Structure 1
Amino acid sequence: MTPRFPDLVPATLRRTWAAAGHCPDLDLYALFRAQRIAAPHRAAVIDARGELSYAELDRQARCLAAGLAEAGVCPGDVVGVQLANGREAVAADLALAALGAVALPFPVGRGGREARSLLGRSGARAVIAATTHRGIDHAAELAKPADELPSLRVVIAAGPGPVPAGCLSWADLLTTGEDAFTPHRCDPDTAARILVSSGSEAEPKMVAYSHNALAGGRGNFLGSLLAGDTHPRCLFLVPLASAFGSNGTAVTLARHGGTLALLDRFTPEAALDAIEAHRPTHVLGVPTMIRMMLERRPSDGGPAVAPTALILGGSALDAATRQEAERAFGCPVVNLYGSADGVNCHTGYGEEAAPKDGPGVAVGRPDPAVCEITIAPLPGGAPGEAGEILARGPMTPLCYVGAPELNMRYRTADGWVRTGDLGLLDADGTLHVVGRLKDIVIRGGANISPAEVEGELSAHPDIRDVICVGVPDPLMGERLAACVVARAGREISLASLTAHLDACGVERRKHPERLLRLTGDLPLTPAGKPDRAALRARLASAEAVRSAPAERAQAG
């Protein structure tokens, strides 16, 4: 019988990594339980309601696990989780791990259509959803009868307010009592969590990860940024339900015995306040969030206690943002390159994010305790040129979920993951990320990498934030558009962008030919990344162009 989540990495490799000590070879709940026994009174979670200790969190997780079991959730079942950052989301992670179920977290704010797609394609048997969040009744939406969810049996509503029809109550599940529950002991190489990718497929990709890949491979990434046996205190600006957020419960708590400081919703003001109030050792976010915080931070200096590091991923980190953030927050900035598909590489505390002698963005040397990286040449490519980045190692996921065609497209017979990213390894083994294969804009038959142009425009003195996207064009096929947020009191024009790129030596054919001026901030996806689809829609919308004028350059 074919397993539901087949491991596309050869079993001998998995065992080799475990034998080398790269994986703990224990399930996530067993790892968390060991931390709880060692330090029951240590703060596990800090959220809007205050601190929750390891002992208190464990009690809540065990009660929830007992309630879920009574509701019919069994080992191996997929259970969706759509909750805002907070203690409930963490307790749900641990309860499902203790049950031997497979968690499928996805951020609040995703519409009912996308949520149903994820639940339907994964064959989810249950879902835990917020009763209401920012005006959206998530639980009620998912409880409506739907032909596309034949496997869904249970909808649990979490949070204040009346329980919607067709839902069970989170509060009622907690009354079962922790003494009625015995944890399920899982094979650590079986599925623990499904990460949802915000990539470029028509529907979000779902990627199954084992207990070992999360606590081992991903845990080794965070472990490399810790000093000795210290317990990290991590402020997550990204949703725990995102791929980046998978470094929360499984890594920060279960693997490293740390503390999670959580915001139920990111705003730059709330993030700055949280750094002062909670004094995190590590702040995890995306560069756009940090740029928003830099614009709003007080002018009288950095935080009272500087973090050990800012860890920034999710999109390219430019040198200007890194340098400004290091000055403002008084700590190093770690440039993280990673994805739900199973790739991770990052700079250390003292490394430059973008050395002048290499293309693209330098993201450090691959760590074999996390994943190895190799470069597959492109058709017709010459030795030393950028090729597709392939990754394989202790953090490599099991497989794609509900999409055998993705396994065929992105996985090799010997376990490598095709990332769809362009990059190269230089002479000292440093990985340079050049761009995305799918993001390449083809203008009149010539390829343009938006990431390359974004990297140069990020140093423009009048630009606070920039994203470049391709827009359809009847003559050239596509043209490049720059979507920019200006610094306070500055004006941006296509002519100024062209002059800046000329001074950087960027070929004219790569210059943006459309300009979308944005007021406020870049739009973000529910996972906290720049929303390129929303920007393309605004460029295509005549009304949006009137509200944020679009400017055109003469065709070159």
Structure 2
Amino acid sequence: MGTTGLPELIARTHDDYAYNARASAEVAGVTKDSVYLVSLPAGHNFPLACPGILGVLLAGGRVVMLPSPEPARAFATIEAEGVTHTAVVPAVAGRWLERAAQHGAGQLATLRVVQVGGARLADELACQVEPVLGARLQQVFGMAEGLLLTRGPYTPRGYYRAAEHNARSFTGDGWFRTGDICLRTPEGNLVVAGRDKDMINRGGEKISAEEIENLVYRLPSVSQVAAVAMPDPVLGERVCVYVVPRAGATVTLEEIRARMEGAEVARFKLPERLVVVEELAWTKVGKIDKKALRTDIADRLKAELPGG
């Protein structure tokens, strides 16, 4: 099943998975000499077949497994096993970058490819991966159902016994709608800008949460950030940012707004509330749990009302 919203049963076939695993392995440069580290939940599509366990084994390579991607143990395992490829989510990539910046990346000498998926990796983190970790960054985008508005050998024909959901998610001629918002560059490349569910509607102005997060990540005091919609009786929604500061650092709303204004960001996009936390809410597959954060800020606002 997918990793967002309520669970749906995604009808997959063995041919689907074999095609996906082999095609992904080719793109990732996997060969019989590859060593793949699995530290994410192995049953999920990303570490299972993109190319994951299946793609590496089909290519004749070797798979090494860890119960978690904790940086110290992961780095030691990469060195001991000669790991060449691995897959992480953005939060883990951030922790690995911090570890390498503090202790060096000498243990990662054999690592050639770091795949990041599950959610979009902020540009400010993406540009650090190769210079800091010494490995090529490969951003893996998609979902268990397939890529963008798509139809092909890996696209299912529909969810199992879910007619209402199918009517929303598939066109009449079988194209699958993912709900992702993409931009096409003049060169013909696609840039993922976010999901339609991750847009903040401030008085009719649509704001990409990921755009806000990329801007906030430019502050050296910020370790992790999540932008979410905050309910507002006048405008409908306003921008709220949750921030985990780096060790020993402080972050203020004024600092965030000043940095964004300095980058000539439109004023309606400026965050209007900052919540500093020690840790963000995460889903079981390592994505930031935006639903939990939206619930949290709504509860905070209710508690601040008279009699709340």
Over 3 Å counting, the alpha-carbon distance change for 1:208 and 1:251 in structure 2 is farther
Aligned partner of 2:37 in structure 1 is 235
How far the C-alpha of 1:328 sits from its partner, in A, is 2.5
- 2:19 matched to which residue of 1? 216
Q: Find out whether 1:258 has 2:61 as its counterpart.
A: yes
Q: Distance in 2 between matches of 1:398 and 1:210?
A: 11
Aligned to 1:439: 198
Query: Would you say 1:198 and 2:3 are equivalent positions?
Result: yes
Write out the 4+ residue segments of structure 1 that deviate beyond 3 Å after TM superposition.
Answer: 540-543
Task: Name the structure 2 match of 1:487.
Answer: 246
Q: Are the aligned partners of 1:210 and 1:398 in contact in 2 as well (CA < 8 Å)?
A: no
C-alpha spacing 1:527/1:341, structure 2 compared with 1 (3 Å): same
Equivalent position SS for 2:153: coil
CA distance in 2, matches of 1:461, 1:210: 46
1:339 partner letter: M
The letter for the 1-side match of 2:170 is R
| Conserved? CA contact 1:208–1:399, under 8 Å | yes
Match of 2:47 in 1: 245
Alignment partners' CA distance in 2, 1:260 and 1:402: 35
- AA aligned to 2:192 is V
1:537 — aligned with what?
295
Q: In 2, Cα distance between the equivalents of 1:243 and 1:404?
A: 24
Q: 1:261 to 1:457 in 2, by over 3 A?
A: same
- Structure 1: distance between partners of 2:131 and 2:68: 26
Letter in 2 for 1:486: P
1:308 aligns with 2:67: no
3-state secondary structure, aligned to 2:36: strand
Partner amino acid, structure 2, of 1:400: Y
- SS of structure 2 residue aligned to 1:337: coil
> Equivalent residue of 1:338, what SS?
coil
Instruction: Please identify the structure whose Cα radius of gyration is greater.
Output: 1
Q: Percent identity of the aligned residues?
A: 33
* 3-state SS, counterpart of residue 303 of structure 1: helix
* TM-score normalised by the chain length of structure 1: 0.51
CA–CA distance in structure 2, aligned partners of residues 473 and 306 of structure 1: 51
Superposed counterparts of 1:135-534, under 5 Å: 196-199=1-4, 201=5, 203-226=6-29, 229-247=31-49, 248-253=52-57, 255-297=58-100, 298-343=102-147, 389-519=148-278, 521-534=279-292
After superposition, residues 94-173 of structure 1 pair within 5 angstroms as none
Structure 1 residue ranges without an equivalent (≥5): 1-195, 344-388, 547-556
Give the aligned length: 300
Shift of 1:244: 1.4
> 1:286-319: CA deviations, max 9, x gaps?
1110111222345244325231110001112223
Going from structure 1 to structure 2, the CA distance change for 1:515 and 1:296 (only over 3 Å counts) comes to: same
Give the deviation of 1:246 after TM superposition: 2.8
- What is the CA distance between 1:542 and its match in structure 2? 4.2
On the 8 A contact 2:217/2:223 being kept in 1, the answer is yes
Q: Secondary structure at the match of 2:83?
A: coil
**Contact map agreement 2:36 2:53 (CA 8 A) in 1:** no
Q: TM-score, normalised by structure 2?
A: 0.89
Q: For residue 252 of structure 1, give the secondary structure of its aligned residue in structure 2.
A: helix
Aligned-pair Cα RMSD in Å: 2.3
Q: 3-state SS of the aligned residue for 2:127? A: helix
Q: Is the 8 A contact 1:207 1:398 kept in 2?
A: no
* Residues 522 and 219 of structure 1: CA distance in aligned 2, closer, same or farther (over 3 Å): farther
> Structure 1 residue 498: deviation in Å?
0.7
Query: Which has the larger helix fraction?
Result: 2
Q: Secondary structure at the match of 1:216?
A: helix
Separation (CA, whole Å) in 2 of partners of 1:390 and 1:234: 30
- Residues 208/270 of structure 1: CA separation in 2 closer, same or farther (3 Å cut): farther
What 5-or-longer segments of structure 2 have no aligned partner? none
